[in-house]
A and B are shown apart, each in its own frame.
Chain A
Amino acid sequence: MSNVENKQKIGTLVGGSLSSGLEIRLDSEYSVENLYVGDGITIEGREKRYFGIISDILLQSSDSTLRSFPPNSSDFFVTSILSGTSAFTILKISLQLAVSLDANLDEFDQLGLDSTSFGPATTVPPHFSPVYRATSKDYTEIFGSEDENHGWIGTPKGREEEVKINLDLEQLIKRSNGVFGKTGTGKTFLTRVLLSEIINKDLGVNLIFDMHRDYSDSVNDESGNKINSLKQLYPSKVEVMSLGKSLTKGQVRPDAEIMISYSDLEVQDIEILSETLNLTSAGLLAAHALDRSYGEKWLGIFLNMEPSEDKENKNSLSAAAERTGQLYTVLHTLWRRLEILKKFEFLQQNPAEESIRRIFASLERGKHVILDFGSHQSNETAYILVTSLITRRIYERWAEQDNQLIIAIEEAHKFLNSEVASQTIFGTIAREMRKWKVTLLVVDQRPSGIDAEVLSQLGTKFIHQLEDNRDIDSILAGSSRDLRGVVSTLAPKQQALVIGHALPMPVVIDVRSNDTLTNFINPETTTTEIINIERDNNDLFGEKNE
């Protein structure tokens, strides 16, 4: 067997089950401090080789008196002998893959066979099978190497060697995916890698709703190093569009400015905002009524009404109330709450041009679009409104396209919670999966806030550290329950458990450092051409700050 060299036996299989995890008794020579939850291991059965990850580590003793009367910890001779013999470690393993041992593995290496030779483990190895730490060769076998369809996203947790975990990007973008984790755990960091790889390998086209200006502009990491924006990395492939008038701050020079007309907004966009804007259910019903009554332009008309009780005033709310059969007070409350929309300068009755068409055109040409929110950066209402609207519009028209469209959204629980999931475009996209060649890439810190069905539709999940048990439970619902321990022991930053279709088996990775994202330049494109492209953009789209 080709993987025998450099393999270090760490233990022996002594019990357990397929459903709740196999139990491995760690060899007394192997130090328990060398192992991590989430680390990969292999088990040599008699007919198959198995791959799995450590899901828990337990300390046990052969005799309960050791717990009651442990030896003096300063008696090093005694404690070092007892540990590993009478006091030993049990590893719980989540079994993932199995491969038949008849298969000639050298052939695998040469042909670079993909992970279809491995199947999910449906049997267990026999008692006392030896257990080894997964080697870099094992990882390479399972995860393949980097190529036009596989992107490198990180290294296995705790490995000193440079073992690259490669994601099957083709599989990835065929379904919606999610990046999760508490605030500050590095979701953006990983998302940047994913987007970068998709852009790099031209596998699909991204529409990114950049709420916090993480992708459209360069950022500084914790050590103060500059991380290039996607635009800087792929200047000719990426367009940045800004909502409303662009700011002069920063280095981002948008390729276009986006304006939205009131008539673009539909009631469902308002519905999504109900929580954010604190709208009542009566208010939502009123909105529906207004829509039915006034038609497409209802919102613009409604916002221009006067909060007057004068029924004679055709532009008064009370007139509207009568017309729609709604209570004045309800309309008034609704009007007050929706007033905030007036502050958005990008929201106009009649904008200068059809921004949505502009966006669509770029996407159609294969350009990745990042929507920067300008002065409304981090504004929840603006974000939800615009994202919802644009997504819906683009989705409606994407049917004839061949290219895969990936829509990246943050604060996904706002769009996909149980209350609204069935009604919003996002819910639809999530459910319909491949049908229209549009998928989502959701980034969120509260997976428990996302509809369970939607979560179950996600193809691949990238899970950073989560603290809330409900979040962990919801993200691991289904067959991955035994990986709870893995999630709770993730490092606080830039470490994620990746499970799903894009990988043959779950793995914990240290996310690839963003400064390794290469500045991909088509070698045929000269410097002059790049300048030309940029000049063209400027000509087309107006102001530019020198």
Chain B
Amino acid sequence: MPFDFELIAEKLQKAVKSIKSDDNLYHERVDKIIDFYKKSDPKVIEQKRNQGNHKWLAAKFLDHNATINAPKLIPQDYRVIAVDGSHIDVDRHSPIKCVVLNIGTVIFTYGSNPSAILNSSPLTYIGDSELNIFDGNSTSRSPLQGNLMGVKRAVMELKFLADTLEDYADGTPTLALIDGSLILWSILGEQEYVIDQLLQEQFLEQLHRIKKLSDKKVILASYLSYPDTSDVINSLRICLCNEHCSNMNPCEQGCSLVSGIRDRDIFIKYLPDSSRSSLFQSTSNVIEKYYGEEYGINFYYLNIFNEIARIELPNWTANNLDLLELSHSLIIDQCNKGLGYPVSIMESHEQAVINTTDRENFKMLLDRLLAEQGINYNTSQKDRSKKYRWV
């Protein structure tokens, strides 16, 4: 049946109206928060954060509050390596279980000898052994699909990045970019053995390889546009609310100021275009539990073309002022070239993406191979009904 817009429209309308009325109050609140942020002392905030029994994620404040940092000049020669991935999921109905993971890598060199390399590499995982994570005794397995496939993908992206960096790192300032986050959020909730293998063995292994290249001016960073994150606000909230709230939900008193407001709302208001915020440190459970101190993750916010992006860096990069500043200016340059988004990430995405035609061609290839071997492909009734949409 076609979409019944009427019913939906009504509800949407109400919601939109309520937003409007909230609007003016919203701006007042944001201004207040910014005010507070500017005046507050990061050490005090840190103290309160450590003492508090809040259950929400609150970022660690590092340097002075509310600093505004303009980008420095970029070097004449620099390089960007970006990696992105895309996958075709397991078809439950097919007799062959397989997953194709397509990793797109781009290497752009700018300056006196400009060049560009675009690459994509497909990885296939076929059969039980490849498509599952097994525990040590092989009694338990977690299939590589859905969320877990996303994690596996993040791991492989980082691996490709590390491979490429090892080949190319030659002292030329090299920005290594990843779309999204350096924090493997999705691993939370997985089995221990999964976390062991994917995160600790594989993911951190790659981070380690990249860390070793840091003297070759390699700057690893992740780029998240228009982030939903609020770990900075959450830290401010601890100070703002005198009730020492421990609840996730903001209370009606102190917390009401920050209710519904995200980090990006704050920073967009006071960061000028191309400037970055102060540096923060992520206190995510994933990091604290599994990354270890060696692999802490820092972040800052950046105003790109009047939109906020969140840049995450490993601590060894963030602590090096040169590299930190390079990360800022090179990302700005990338965004200029990409008309608002880093061009290297855009192109790596294009290299990685498996479009509909390719997906269908893949399915057809499988079908043909199965048919050649005389294997009957029994698709489920549900699948057939979806495919054919008959009347």
A and B touch in the complex (CB under 8 A): no
**A interface list, Cβ under 8 A from B:** none
